[in-house]
Amino acid sequence: MYLADEAWPDLESYFESESLALVPLGSTEQHGPHLPEATDHLIAEAFAREAADRTGYLCTPTVTIGVSGHHRQFHGTMWVEPPVFREYVASLTRNLTSHGIDRVIYVNAHGGNVPHLREVGARLRQEEVAYAIEWMWNDSIPDLVDDLFEQNGPHGGPKETSMIQYLEPALVHDDRVRDARDGGVPSVDAAETVKHGSRTFYDAADNTENGVLGDQTDASAEKGERLFEAATDQLVQLCEWLDEQPFEDLLPKDHV
């Protein structure tokens, strides 16, 4: 069920009987010369809506702008400051609890959001307001990602390229895929910005001139479909597991 498509009287029965919601989050940021700036939020929304369709759980509208200041040197990247993002997501989640939701899955597709979603979830749990957890699609299927790609990225690489080739092929500049590979770097290690154990980079532009890493020519829509199906299965299983848990078991343990 997609919340924004429903009239309010038709949502009453869901909130009376269910307590779980999926919240897709991504970013609007550069993904190299070949992918749209919508890459992350398109992927997040596709997973959340598919899982909602398969399970009947509620999917909210997508948070399309995240913590992306580290891509700011590239045209069009949009971002909010981390404290603003955290407060926005926390407020949005509290809004859901006012309708009876007490467990939330942040269906996330942007690495820059991860620590902030974890912090929000921890705070809401400590306050015993809601149990909110972050889910990142590629982290749910690491073995498959490694099997499909010799060098997967991490940013704008073949795994994300494959996903958009599958989900939104018209938005991929296929004629620029080779240029993306040749103008970027294979990996953070290849950028040589880790010095004596210190991550000396802060921005994507410190590592790669065109904003991407990995071998984008290793991507395909067929691989994207395999990734999407495998990760969706993991998300569905997570939904079912979380729904089965008594809420009191999800709260912080008592002091020893």
Cα separations (Å) of 12 from 8, 15, 18, 62, 125? 7, 5, 10, 21, 25
Residue 57 CA to residue 50 CA, distance in Å, equals 10
Q: What token pair was written down for 74?
A: 């590239």
Query: Is residue 171 assigned to a domain?
Result: yes
Query: Is residue 165 assigned to a domain?
Result: yes
**pLDDT value of position 189:** 87
Range of the domain at 235: 3-250
Number of compact structural domains in the chain: 1
- Listed in sequence order, the residues at least 6 apart from 234 whose beta carbon sits closer than 8 Å to its beta carbon are 140, 141
CATH number at residue 199: 3.40.50.10310
Residue 256 CA to residue 120 CA, distance in Å, equals 24
Q: Compute the average pLDDT of residues 207-227.
A: 96
- Quick one: what percent of the chain has pLDDT higher than 70? 100
**pLDDT value of position 152:** 83
Q: Does residue 76 carry a pLDDT above 90?
A: yes
Query: Is residue 87 assigned to a domain?
Result: yes
**pLDDT value of position 151:** 85
Amino acid 14 reads Y
Average pLDDT, the chain: 96
Residue 45's CB is within 10 A of a number of other CB atoms, namely: 24
The secondary structure of 133-174 as a DSSP string is EEEEGGGG-HHHHHHH-SS--SSSSHHHHHHHHHH-GGG--G
pLDDT in tens, 64-74: 999 999 999 99
pLDDT in tens, 100-158: 999 999 999 999 999 999 999 999 999 999 999 999 999 999 999 999 998 888 899 99
Query: Is residue 44 assigned to a domain?
Result: yes
Query: Is residue 255 assigned to a domain?
Result: no
Query: Is residue 224 assigned to a domain?
Result: yes
**pLDDT value of position 153:** 82
Q: Does residue 226 carry a pLDDT above 90?
A: yes
Residue 188 banded pLDDT, cuts 50, 70, 90: confident
Q: Does residue 34 carry a pLDDT above 90?
A: yes
254 — phi, psi (to 5°)?
-65, 155
Residue 68 CA to residue 74 CA, distance in Å, equals 11
Query: Is residue 256 assigned to a domain?
Result: no
